[in-house]
Structure 1
Amino acid sequence: MEDITRGGQFLVKETKCENIFTPEDFSEEQIMMRDSVKEFVDKEIWPHKDRFEKKDYALTEETMRKAGEMGFLSIAVPEAYGGMGMGFVDTCLVCDYISGATGSFSTAFGAHTGIGTMPITLYGTEEQKQKYVPKLASGEWFGAYCLTEPGAGSDANSGKTKAVLSEDGTHYKITGQKMWISNAGFCSLFIVFARIEDDKNITGFILENTQDNGISFGEEEHKLGIRASSTRQVFFNETKIPVENMLSERGNGFKIAMNALNVGRIKLAAACLDAQRRVTSNAISYANDRVQFNTPIASFGAIRAKLAEMATSTYAGESATYRAAQDIETRIKIREAEGVSHQEAELKGVEEFAIECSILKVAVSEDVQHCADEGIQVYGGMGFSEDTPMESAWRDARIARIYEGTNEINRMLSVGMLIKKAMKGQVDLLGPAMKVQEELMGIPSFDSPDYSELFSEEKEMIGKLKKAFLMVAGGAIQKFGTDLEAHQQLLMAAADMLIEIYMAESTVLRTEKLAKKQGETNVQEQIAMAKLYLYQAVDIVTQKGKEGIVSFAEGDEQRMMLMGLRRFTKYTNMPNVVGLREIITAKLVAENKYCF
């Protein structure tokens, strides 16, 4: 039990590679599930990409029904309500591999299985769960989630939709406007949030989408990407909801919404992974086939660098997402073993790792966008054409940085939640931060370190990057105290440092575990990717650390902190980045796909 890391503790506690879960640890059952999902996507979704791009909403609905028949909509639903009752890692695995072909289906799937179904399984009464969840799990019904309003986006609790209790006390009448509602065009059930009287917080309700109940819809939105994902405004005009359809308690809607977002964030990261794999594989295949100057462009260094970077960010995203997914699953099992109900265990398990969920949402959504952008560049002029898969991949990727909380919100949340955990004594930031200050005042060691073991220097570097974050965050807290949240640019810089530390450490730990299992000589490409990702992480921590320090420190304090930052980001043996990329690309080009 002492090896169980709690949320946010990665920053102050060393994690051993044996204690993280990696994609190479998938069980036979998980591999069978993965292959089943891939077969479904390759048969039912990928061949019809052009129809999805032409806004074939009926195809999205039809494919969702097929996914329901295959059981893919029920992975996370407890068996008592018609689901498979599988673990959190399984849920992320299915979300990962079912989302790679098109963002339209990915969004419909994610909205239904996540925010359309999960609030009832986690917050519903037994009667509500028995009545609604089996229909949602099977795909007989589809769910939608009505939270966002024209004046309430990131500030979700500021919604104006009203719920008024009827005179006879049997139902609420809901009046208001919701926008950007995924699955609105074909859903059977809404999770709706409204305010009762002048309550401080909104309340959640379960609403069946029936005729003649004051529900009307806007036209389908014309969007940059996810074109066959049904997205409409929904208007409620004294729409009746039985009092027994209140979800959880009065005023608990904001809490439901925030916890749904925590789960949604890690699932969104998972949903970007197979998109990255497919984009990378397509780019490699095209680069091998495309001949210029009598040579395949895959042999040109400028293209090879792109392919290596695309594969590396994909590998890093996998490493961090499955590490966090298993940490959440472990925490859920611990709570269940203590006698807590499954729904309470899952809520608290995900909430425990909310920092990591925000980190993943930001990192992987930005990596998939960059990957698709580079994919277009590898294709050149053809990449800009609708005839190739890169153009739609790039458009579909763009929404990932906006929904489940914008990346700006999630950056600030990740640091804000870490500080709150420290205030509550759940993560000891103060002790390590004080040690860093003492180290800065002391004389640095000039001993020659022993780097004979694999990743010994890299792990030391990750430890130093953690010190750099503690130095900047500690200094900022000392300077601004509780006013720190008003300094958003400083929080954003600190968040980028935090993100890179988690992503780099996850990648190194996965590869160390793999090397111990398979031997270093058999995983040279993965070793190269881990070193390449860390090198770039060090650059980002250096840049963002400087930006943070000079924004709040002056004079001797600033000079000392900048000197500390240089010490904490200095390699003893600088890696040959070009050489690392070559090792990675040689394997990719030979295999003609993303092969890790």
Structure 2
Amino acid sequence: METVEKDILRGGQFLVKESKCEDIFTPEDFSEEQIMMKEAVKEFTDREIVAHRDRFEAKDYALTEEVMKKAGELGFLGVAVPEEYGGMGMGFVSTMITCEYISSGNGSLSTAFGAHTGIGTMPITLYGTEEQKQKYVPKLASGEWMGAYCLTEPGAGSDANSGKTTAELTEDGKSYKINGQKMWISNAGFCNLMIVFARIEDDKNITGFIVEYDAANPNGITLGEEEHKLGIRASSTRQVFFNDTVVPAENMLSVRGGGFKIAVNALNVGRIKLAAACIDSQRRVLTTALQYANERKQFKTPIADFGAIKAKLAEMATNTYAGESASYRAAKDIEDRIAMRMAAGNSHQEAELKGVEEYAIECSILKVTVSEDVQACADEGIQIFGGMGFSEETPMEAAWRDARIARIYEGTNEINRMLSVGMLIKKAMKGHVDLLGPATAVADELMGIPSFDTPDYSELFAEEKEMIAKMKKVFLMVAGSAIQKYGPDLEKHQQLLLAAANILNEIYMAESTLLRAEKNAKRFGEDAQEGQIAMAKLYLYNAVEIVAKNGREGIISFAEGDEQRMLLMGLKRFTKYANYPNVVALRNTIAEKLKAENKYCF
């Protein structure tokens, strides 16, 4: 892996530092190897997954297992696994590409893939001893064995550390006996290995264990019936019961009480991978809806020519482009941070763990935003199809049902919103992100007289960049005032945190979209990027509206009198364009490009 010379921002620093478009990575920067990987996975997805949509919807669990085995034979399950353990040892961006394109054919396969490669394999790769890695990881990387992850319990969902499953050391000290119940376990019906979390005695934190499972010799493990779910119907989801299940002591993962840390770090990776898993799904939904809209005639006109449909298509494409831009920006930052740590002498395990952990804020932002965008995309897909969209004959209703789980997976979106703001404040307290200086500067600016100079907006995105900078001021103003008022009690004010998180999310997404469009306009020419430029401007306009709404809601919730009036005046100043974009014209530009290409084409 090459060393990276450029100075990359630390996690969360996007809020207080300006990024240059040259310093961010975009999908247009994929290497030849990455493009080949993308094409190979797309071809596999079309042949093995999309072609069998009806079987997946009919709860064909055996098909999910069969396709997973084929993915293993082609190496897709081992993309992120180091070569010495039977994997491909590819970088973080390549693992994102694989996840994105294998996940778009069907939600059931996407879930099986994510559960196996992420939370089923990765904890051993990153926390296992050398013996554990040599014994288990090659089997998981090849697909010979399938993995599952047993964390959630009836009383322990978002509060993962509150699980009641116990692990008791046997008298001879050679084994642990596990007793308890886990639920919502993906891949349970065909797994050979489970990562199980249990509490030893009355430890504060849970501990991780590698537990082998053989249906012919179940070792005290029984499985519940397959759950009947709204979506992801061919994903095997069962309860798992442990009754004096004997696990060798050497199968403890990491250290005693280290399970909560494993769970948290697995979730960080899971969050950004979940965002990736939603991107090509949006492209496929949009392309299907677009092709229908171009063919479907009402009043002797293709419905794609109607302004109401154009607006939907443009917004669907814009959100897809934004999700892709932000996801690969963060993925390359993670990859570069891993390379820097390895160059500095860290082990692969340490570098990977710390590299992802550095960008935990961005991972949460992406998980929330892209999971909500894929649901909105599928919803509009149904709407464009009209009555046909509600029928099982078209792929829209299945896409809508499958998308719904993404807002619950990897920590609910509500939890992730509060986490992103909480993690940012913690980073500020550790001195990793300077929030105090910029927040003080914004407070001083509010007290000062605004400038009445006419700025120069002749350069591409000049005003848009100023709007991004102003949105950052809104966050610093609202969050800074709220922290001053509530201090450590801020975490109790969840609705205020949610509003602050919505502002934070939009800043990262809008900036990423703008920087990508700017970078590509510089290298390919503005004319060639007309649709992308329009999408960057449209996304920003929508973001400013969301920031204004959430900023107002936040301010009103904690400020009164003169303070409230001052903050609301600041909000108005920071969310006001000098020249508002013609949103209808932007949407029409995007929609006309889509109509002409008859597919997502950006």
TM-score range, shorter chain: over 0.9
- 1:466 paired residue number: 472
- 1:370 paired residue number: 376
- 2:55 paired residue number: 51
How far does residue 11 in structure 1 lie from its aligned partner after superposition? 0.1
Residue identity matched to 1:532: L
How far does residue 212 in structure 1 lie from its aligned partner after superposition? 3.7
Cα distance in 1 for residues equivalent to 2:336 and 2:9:
10
1:457 aligns with 2:463: yes
1:16 aligns with 2:58: no
Counterpart mapping for 1:338-349 below 5 A: 338-349=344-355
How far does residue 552 in structure 1 lie from its aligned partner after superposition? 0.5
Cα distance in 2 for residues equivalent to 1:293 and 1:50:
33
Match of 2:46 among 42, 47, 62: 42
TM-score (norm 1): 1.00
How far does residue 400 in structure 1 lie from its aligned partner after superposition? 0.1
How far does residue 435 in structure 1 lie from its aligned partner after superposition? 0.1
| Secondary structure in structure 2 of the residue aligned to 1:185 | helix
- 1:157 paired residue number: 161
1:425 aligns with 2:431: yes
1:142 aligns with 2:134: no
How many residue pairs get aligned? The number is 596
Counterpart mapping for 1:81-230 below 5 A: 81-210=85-214, 211-230=217-236
1:264 aligns with 2:274: no
Cα distance in 1 for residues equivalent to 2:480 and 2:31:
42
| Secondary structure in structure 1 of the residue aligned to 2:7 | coil
- 1:532 paired residue number: 538
1:566 aligns with 2:578: no
Counterpart mapping for 1:129-528 below 5 A: 129-210=133-214, 211-528=217-534
Cα distance in 2 for residues equivalent to 1:164 and 1:346:
32
Cα distance in 1 for residues equivalent to 2:168 and 2:419:
33
Cα distance in 2 for residues equivalent to 1:531 and 1:577:
8
Cα distance in 1 for residues equivalent to 2:102 and 2:218:
36
Cα distance in 1 for residues equivalent to 2:151 and 2:309:
43
- 2:549 paired residue number: 543
Residue identity matched to 1:340: N
Cα distance in 2 for residues equivalent to 1:499 and 1:214:
45
Cα distance in 2 for residues equivalent to 1:283 and 1:473:
40
Residue identity matched to 1:150: P
Cα distance in 1 for residues equivalent to 2:447 and 2:97:
47
* Overall identity of the aligned pairs, in %: 79
| Secondary structure in structure 1 of the residue aligned to 2:189 | coil
Question: Residue by residue, what CA displacement relative to the aligned partner does 1:25-46 show, whole Å, maximum 9, x if unpaired?
Answer: 1111111100000000111110
The alpha-carbon distance between structure 1 residues 212 and 95, as it changes in their structure 2 partners (threshold 3 A), is: closer
Cα distance in 2 for residues equivalent to 1:427 and 1:397:
34
Question: Residue by residue, what CA displacement relative to the aligned partner does 1:319-373 show, whole Å, maximum 9, x if unpaired?
Answer: 0000000000000000000000011000000000000000000000000000000
Cα distance in 2 for residues equivalent to 1:22 and 1:224:
35
| Secondary structure in structure 2 of the residue aligned to 1:399 | helix
Residue identity matched to 1:26: F
Cα distance in 2 for residues equivalent to 1:269 and 1:583:
27
Structure 1: which 5+ runs fail to align? none
How far does residue 2 in structure 1 lie from its aligned partner after superposition? 6.5
Question: Residue by residue, what CA displacement relative to the aligned partner does 1:452-472 show, whole Å, maximum 9, x if unpaired?
Answer: 100010000000000000000
How far does residue 78 in structure 1 lie from its aligned partner after superposition? 0.3
How far does residue 101 in structure 1 lie from its aligned partner after superposition? 1.1
| Secondary structure in structure 1 of the residue aligned to 2:464 | helix
Cα distance in 2 for residues equivalent to 1:497 and 1:105:
33
| Secondary structure in structure 2 of the residue aligned to 1:117 | helix
Question: Residue by residue, what CA displacement relative to the aligned partner does 1:145-191 show, whole Å, maximum 9, x if unpaired?
Answer: 00000000000000000000001111000000000000000000000
Cα distance in 2 for residues equivalent to 1:533 and 1:266:
20
Cα distance in 2 for residues equivalent to 1:569 and 1:212:
61
Question: Residue by residue, what CA displacement relative to the aligned partner does 1:61-83 show, whole Å, maximum 9, x if unpaired?
Answer: 00000000111000000001000
Residue identity matched to 1:11: L
Please, which moves more after superposition, 424-433 or 211-220?
211-220
Cα distance in 1 for residues equivalent to 2:367 and 2:485:
29
- 2:65 paired residue number: 61
Cα distance in 1 for residues equivalent to 2:531 and 2:370:
21
Structure 2: which 5+ runs fail to align? none
Cα distance in 2 for residues equivalent to 1:299 and 1:177:
55
Cα distance in 2 for residues equivalent to 1:135 and 1:396:
29
Cα distance in 1 for residues equivalent to 2:6 and 2:422:
26
| Secondary structure in structure 1 of the residue aligned to 2:188 | coil
Cα distance in 1 for residues equivalent to 2:399 and 2:262:
31
Question: Residue by residue, what CA displacement relative to the aligned partner does 1:230-259 show, whole Å, maximum 9, x if unpaired?
Answer: 000000000000000000000000000000
TM-score (norm 2): 0.99
Question: Residue by residue, what CA displacement relative to the aligned partner does 1:496-547 show, whole Å, maximum 9, x if unpaired?
Answer: 0000000000000000000000010110000000000000000000000000
Match of 1:575 among 573, 581, 584: 581
Cα distance in 1 for residues equivalent to 2:227 and 2:8:
45
How far does residue 3 in structure 1 lie from its aligned partner after superposition? 2.8
Residue identity matched to 1:542: A
| Secondary structure in structure 1 of the residue aligned to 2:190 | coil
How far does residue 4 in structure 1 lie from its aligned partner after superposition? 1.2
